[in-house]
Amino acid sequence: MRIHLQSAHLVAIIAIALVTALLLAVKFRPATWRGVLFEAVVANVGAFAAVLAFEALTA
């Protein structure tokens, strides 16, 4: 199974990551920059996994 990420996939990753980071920030309200950084990393990993899963299911 080959997975090809195109520019549309990258846009989807960025959009999902931004929305997820916003939702995490609203829910947990981090007090330090490390908390914000952790939430951003979690959001990006989740977005990347979501796009890869979608690509794998539709390929």
Look at residue 34 in the predicted model and tell me its pLDDT. Answer: 93
Look at residue 10 in the predicted model and tell me its pLDDT. Answer: 87
pLDDT digits (tens, 9 = 90+) for 11-51: 898 999 999 999 988 898 999 999 999 988 999 999 999 99
Look at residue 7 in the predicted model and tell me its pLDDT. Answer: 86
The DSSP secondary-structure symbol of 5 reads -
- Provide CB contacts within 8 A for 19, sequence distance 6+: none
| pTM of the complete model beyond 0.85 | no
Quote the CA–CA distance of 51 and 55 in Å, as a whole number.
6
Look at residue 1 in the predicted model and tell me its pLDDT. Answer: 66
Look at residue 16 in the predicted model and tell me its pLDDT. Answer: 92
